[in-house]
Amino acid sequence: MELSRTAKSFTESVIREMTRICDSVGGINLSQGFPDFPTKEEIKNAAVRAIMDDVNQYSVTFGSPNLRSAIAKKVKSFNKIEVDPEEEITITCGATEAMLCTLKAVINPGDEVIIFEPYYENYGPDVILSGAKAKYITLHPPKWEFDYEELANAFNSNTKAIIINTPNNPTGKVFTRKELEYIAELCNEFNAIAICDEIYEHITYDDTRHISIASLPNMANRTVTINSASKTYSVTGWRVGWAIACPEITKLIRTVHDFTTVGAPSPLQEAVAFCMELKNDYYEQLRNHYFEARNYIHDALVECGFKLYETNGAYYFLVNCDELMNKYSISDDFEFSKFLIEKTGIATVPGTSFYTDKTKGNRQVRFCYCKSWDTLYESGKRLRKLID
């Protein structure tokens, strides 16, 4: 019996392999993007309260009314987007499900989807599962900028959507207003949809602030804004995310979602509704922790001989390893990641995981720094073994 060729074509996530090797040597896992510190007591209490209040059965399939109203209120003030919670929000099992349901809801055979490369690992398989053809546009270091002309040339009458992730995993780039305006112009010219994954929207540094492409003129009806509680509230295991889109697109996202998962966990949806009411100081604290963590890991990596590029948000560094690869006579990113675990006990993700064109990532690895200070200090200490 021949099982699915598509499913067989996906390789197992490299992050899982690095995690396995890391665990076997008792190392520190800077490969996967989840915090190793607990979420706030008040957030945990909101989840416990919902369970004890008997919110334990299916909610409305497209999401608890409380959570949808709370999201609408928050995006109005933070993202400057006016949303009708009745017809324009779908609650999903994480941003992961929101992305797949969105693509399944909008793609027809022959459609093309533009993706910026390097990209968050799931987008490639998501596009394949939806039946679309992916077109990749490179983000170039040191500022992770794209070539405007190259992007314009990638758009054509088959372009159904462009996926934007800002703040960006794995680069730490935050798309500028000018870049978003340019993308918006192309979406309008070619009647394409912007699918914007904004899961790191609260993690921005220095004077940089996140802008939602849906808030730009003529974009509300052609944008799907994807988000999740995972990163902002440090609850990656809760699996609560959402997609915001005009009623026409939302109707189809809800249909796909209904047949995929029926619904996201009901008590956790109520707890996330509580999170939406958190005040500014919560977000300031989150930003400050990651800002200091970024600076600390930045300095440690530079001291060890990595070449770093500009980062304005999210919690990753995609670094160039030329100097160290030459020093230790290592020829590719996989070998280098394995060497790093052996030499320092630090797990990273090989750069090629984020590219379709493997030549672009084979001198890079990704470090993630969404960790407690104990882990960060220990990481700094271990990394310095590279200098010994």
Ligand X SMILES: Cc1ncc(COP(=O)(O)O)c(C=O)c1O
Q: Which one of the spans 1-9, 93-101, 108-116, 284-292 is the region binding ligand X (CB under 6 A)?
A: 93-101
| Position among 116, 120, 146, 290 found at the interface with ligand X (CB under 6 A) | 120
State the nearest-atom distance from the C-beta of 235 to ligand X, in Å: 9
Binding residues for ligand X, total number by CB under 6 A = 13
CB closer to ligand X out of 43 and 324: 43
Is 199 a binding residue for ligand X by CB under 6 A? The answer is yes
State the nearest-atom distance from the C-beta of 163 to ligand X, in Å: 10
Is 96 a binding residue for ligand X by CB under 6 A? The answer is yes
Is 267 a binding residue for ligand X by CB under 6 A? The answer is no
Instruction: Say if CB 242 and CB 71 are below 8 A apart.
Output: yes
Burial call 186-197: b when 16+ CB within 10 Å, e when fewer: bbeebebbbbbb
CB closer to ligand X out of 228 and 312: 228
Is 162 a binding residue for ligand X by CB under 6 A? The answer is no
The residue number with the shortest CB distance to ligand X is: 94
* Interface map 25-44 toward ligand X (x if CB under 6 A): --------x-----------
State the nearest-atom distance from the C-beta of 327 to ligand X, in Å: 31
Is 230 a binding residue for ligand X by CB under 6 A? The answer is yes
d(CA 174, CA 364): 20
State the nearest-atom distance from the C-beta of 107 to ligand X, in Å: 19
CB closer to ligand X out of 146 and 200: 200
**Within positions 330 to 359, which residues make up the interface with ligand X, using CB under 6 A?**
none
Is 13 a binding residue for ligand X by CB under 6 A? The answer is no
Is 112 a binding residue for ligand X by CB under 6 A? The answer is no
Q: Return the HEC string of the chain.
A: CCCCHHHHHCCCCHHHHHHHHHHHCCCEECCCCCCCCCCCHHHHHHHHHHHHCCCCCCCCCCCCHHHHHHHHHHHHHHCCCCCCCCCCEEEECHHHHHHHHHHHHHCCCCCEEEEEECCCCCHHHHHHHHCCEEEEEECECCCCECCHHHHHHHCCCCEEEEEEECCCCCCCCCCCHHHHHHHHHHHHHCCCEEEEECCCCCCECCCCCCCCHHHCCCCHHHEEEEEEHHHHCCCCCCCCEEEECCHHHHHHHHHHHHHHHCCCCHHHHHHHHHHCCCCHHHHHHHHHHHHHHHHHHHHHHHHHCCECCCCCECCEEEEECHHHHHHCCCCCHHHHHHHHHHHHCEECEEHHHHCCCHHHCCCEEEEECCCCHHHHHHHHHHHHHHCC
d(CA 49, CA 46): 5
| Position among 79, 102, 228, 364 found at the interface with ligand X (CB under 6 A) | 228
Is 169 a binding residue for ligand X by CB under 6 A? The answer is yes
| Position among 61, 236, 320, 356 found at the interface with ligand X (CB under 6 A) | 236
Q: Which one of the spans 77-85, 94-102, 300-308, 357-365 is the region binding ligand X (CB under 6 A)?
A: 94-102
Q: Which one of the spans 2-10, 61-69, 88-96, 145-153 is the region binding ligand X (CB under 6 A)?
A: 88-96
Is 269 a binding residue for ligand X by CB under 6 A? The answer is no
CB closer to ligand X out of 15 and 330: 15
CB closer to ligand X out of 96 and 362: 96
- Which residues contribute to the site for ligand X (CB under 6 A)? 33, 94-96, 120, 165, 169, 197, 199, 228, 230, 236, 241
